[in-house]
Structure 1
């Protein structure tokens, strides 16, 4: 039998705050791209399809603030800026990859459940 965890409200707030950061779709994609090594902003924007410049900037600032990414500015003209995962960022890859694998493995089951639910909802309505 698994031990029960005692949930305290401060734990729930902390967990919720962190999950908001790491559960965001852009965060997952950016962390995935940076797992291959440092990238420039323009490379990231091109690699993460559909992300706007503003959203990439916001995502990278949040990841930097939370300690997942470092930002290095090189004094060139124009300035070159590289983004790289920190040790904490690399640790984040494991649960993010596990969640992505789980989603891939269960997509058919989830889609089937959605179809059943939608069909039943239509009949009720």
Structure 2
């Protein structure tokens, strides 16, 4: 399984990429999309929504199940990926380019508390 070393991860299978402007980009991992199977619907959060780390932020539905996507950090949603909502199967094609939303963290240093690639690999048994 592909677990890019330049990303951070959550135990609930979100990936997080720190951006140069201090924001973070969030999606679901290859492990999560594989477990879900064929993704058929994505519900994105509203831009401007405030989230606390661990809050439901989005929903991904597959032919098998619906899965909540959680905010990895506290902050405000600054952008959503409408292209992935229009083509949910793009997550199955490449989970690491099919981001879901961008978040401006209220505490940018909190990203340090997320899992690195090695810890995520260990958590998923990879």
Smaller-chain TM-score bracket: under 0.3
Rg bigger for which structure?
1
Higher strand proportion (structure 1 or 2): 2
**TM score, norm. by length of structure 1:** 0.26
Instruction: Report which structure shows greater RCO (CA 8 Å, sep ≥6).
Output: 2
Higher helix proportion (structure 1 or 2): 1
**TM score, norm. by length of structure 2:** 0.26
